[in-house]
């Protein structure tokens, strides 16, 4: 049986080879926590072994982040440093590979003024517009992966010691990325192929609308005329295959911006801005969110919806069967990277350009005309359950069952 150190090294290699597929002489930009130095260093090492010319690490420290929100002046949260933008843009221009290693504390900013959180989310979103556009158009290879910290593990497994909880979380992460298979790289190739089979079926139907029904949900989502379903692997502008999320169990497309009507209820908590938002309901009219209700985190959710005009609309429609491996683990991760892969979900905010035909090369005006929403934010929230049915409605009115009882019907 492999030791933890061997598993971690294998995980780092998977991130580099499958996650972003580092190329010879390519630069790599890593974002990681100071609590995860061992993994970050391993990823950097594997990147250099794969031929990277330079690996840059942007370190994140939770304690310092909390201190800043508690003590910095109010105007600090309305600005984003220009030098930070310039640094990121330098790597974008070089077509670097971007690796985000997330290890969140879901309660990090609990009790912090929601106005401060909302202001900084808005400021950073506006400042990093170029990065968001490059990612959402697949101009660069990028991936989001996770690392198990004690604070995050304790939130998930509160009934064991912090050390035991961290071991349990690492095991869950390794399982979710297929690290426990004989050949993880081959396992990802097969998984990618299986998801693409669903993509082909959905694109073949070319639905005009989707109708969701479940307890607390009755929602109709119109799709753009030239929408495309995608799933798992992507290809960058340089024709490099990569895996944007690890794990991933979804196939997804973009909604028509003004074509969402009805109401939808969350089925899992949403960790956003260092806070938990739970048991919430959104009501839509002609695409726009017109009512926000939440039992927990109402103010934070309202701040999210009010980020800009585009954050009042949806940017993603994603399908994930209730029987997915992450769902069947019965672990609530309090992190979207995992929880979205256990549940059908939607995203508030911007849509991905590659979800419409020719979208990767469209101007912003052309994307607008195609019905793709624009926003400085993109936040997924979970709506799926074993009680959800989804019908696909074709242009001629033909109704095709897509989901029944939370799982695929096609």
Q: What is the pLDDT of residue 336?
A: 87
Give the model confidence (pLDDT) of 90-114 as tens digits. Answer: 999 999 999 999 998 888 998 999 8
Query: CA angle at residue 26 from 124 to 40, to 5 degrees?
Result: 60
Q: How far is CA 56 from CA 40, 61, 62, 97, 147, in A?
A: 11, 16, 20, 10, 18
Give the model confidence (pLDDT) of 39-78 as tens digits. Answer: 999 999 999 999 999 999 999 999 999 999 999 999 999 9
Q: Helix (H, G, I), strand (E, B), or coil: what is residue 400?
A: strand
Q: What is the pLDDT of residue 80?
A: 94
User: Rounded distance, CA 266 to CA 280, Å?
Assistant: 6
Query: CA angle at residue 94 from 92 to 97, to 5 degrees?
Result: 65
**Contact by Cβ (8 Å): 110, 271:** no
User: Rounded distance, CA 195 to CA 335, Å?
Assistant: 22
User: Rounded distance, CA 60 to CA 373, Å?
Assistant: 30
Mean pLDDT computed over 343-353 = 95
Predicted TM-score of the model (pTM): 0.88
DSSP 24-53: TT-EEEEEEEGGGHHHHHHHHHHHHHTT-S
> Is residue 270 very low, low, confident or very high in pLDDT (cuts 50, 70, 90)?
very high
Which stretches does DSSP call E strand in 189-331? 209-214, 217-222, 230-231, 234-235, 241-242, 251-253, 260-265, 270-272, 275-285, 288-296, 314-319
Give the model confidence (pLDDT) of 385-407 as tens digits. Answer: 999 999 999 999 999 999 999 99
Tell which residue, 90, 86, 81, 80, has the closest CA to residue 29: 90
Tell which residue, 381, 305, 278, 285, has the closest CA to residue 339: 381
End-to-end CA distance of the chain: 39
Give the model confidence (pLDDT) of 20-39 as tens digits. Answer: 999 999 999 999 999 999 99
Q: Helix 184-205 crosses helix 4-14 at what angle (to 10 degrees)?
A: 40
10 Å CB burial of residue 149 (0-12, 13-18, 19+) is: buried
> Is residue 10 very low, low, confident or very high in pLDDT (cuts 50, 70, 90)?
very high
User: Rounded distance, CA 342 to CA 320, Å?
Assistant: 6
Give the model confidence (pLDDT) of 183-222 as tens digits. Answer: 999 999 999 999 999 999 999 999 999 999 999 999 999 9
Which stretches does DSSP call E strand in 224-303? 230-231, 234-235, 241-242, 251-253, 260-265, 270-272, 275-285, 288-296
């Amino acid at each position: 049986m492999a030791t933890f150190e061997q598993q971690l090294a294998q995980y780092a290699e998977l991130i580099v080879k499958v996650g972003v597929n580092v190329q010879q002489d390519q630069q790599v930009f890593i974002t990681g926590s100071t609590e995860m130095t061992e993994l970050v260093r391993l990823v950097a090492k594997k990147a250099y072994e794969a031929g990277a010319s330079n690996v840059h690490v942007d370190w994140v420290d939770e304690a310092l982040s909390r201190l800043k929100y508690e003590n910095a002046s109010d105007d600090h949260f309305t600005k984003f440093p220009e030098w930070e933008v310039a640094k990121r843009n330098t790597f974008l221009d070089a077509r670097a590979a971007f690796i985000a290693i997330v290890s969140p504390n879901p309660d990090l900013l609990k009790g912090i003024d929601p106005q401060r959180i909302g202001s900084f989310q808005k400021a950073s979103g506006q400042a990093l517009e170029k990065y968001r556009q490059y990612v959402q158009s697949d101009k660069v290879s990028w991936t989001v992966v996770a690392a198990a910290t004690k604070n995050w593990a304790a939130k998930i497994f509160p009934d064991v010691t912090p050390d035991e909880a961290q071991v349990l979380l690492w095991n869950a992460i390794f399982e979710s990325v297929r690290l426990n298979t004989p050949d993880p790289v081959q396992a990802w190739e097969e998984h990618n192929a299986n998801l693409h089979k669903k993509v082909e079926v959905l694109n073949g139907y070319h639905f005009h609308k989707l109708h969701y029904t479940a307890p607390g949900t009755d929602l109709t989502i119109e799709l753009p005329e030239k929408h495309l379903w995608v799933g798992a692997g992507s290809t960058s502008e340089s024709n490099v295959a990569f895996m944007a999320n690890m794990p991933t169990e979804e196939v997804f497309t973009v909604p028509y911006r003004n074509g969402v009507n009805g109401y939808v209820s969350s089925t899992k908590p949403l960790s956003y801005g260092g806070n938990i938002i739970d048991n919430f309901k959104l009501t839509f009219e002609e695409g726009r969110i017109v009512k926000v209700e939440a039992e927990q985190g109402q103010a934070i959710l309202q701040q999210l919806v009010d980020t800009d005009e585009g954050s009042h609309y949806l940017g993603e429609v994603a399908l994930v069967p209730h029987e997915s491996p992450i769902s069947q683990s019965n672990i609530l991760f309090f992190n979207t990277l995992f929880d979205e892969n256990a549940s059908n979900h939607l995203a508030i905010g911007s849509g991905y350009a590659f979800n419409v035909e020719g979208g990767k090369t469209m101007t912003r005006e052309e994307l607008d005309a195609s019905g793709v929403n624009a926003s400085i934010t993109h936040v997924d929230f979970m709506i799926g359950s074993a009680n959800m049915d989804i019908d696909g409605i074709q242009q001629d009115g033909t109704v095709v069952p897509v989901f029944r009882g939370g799982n695929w019907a096609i």
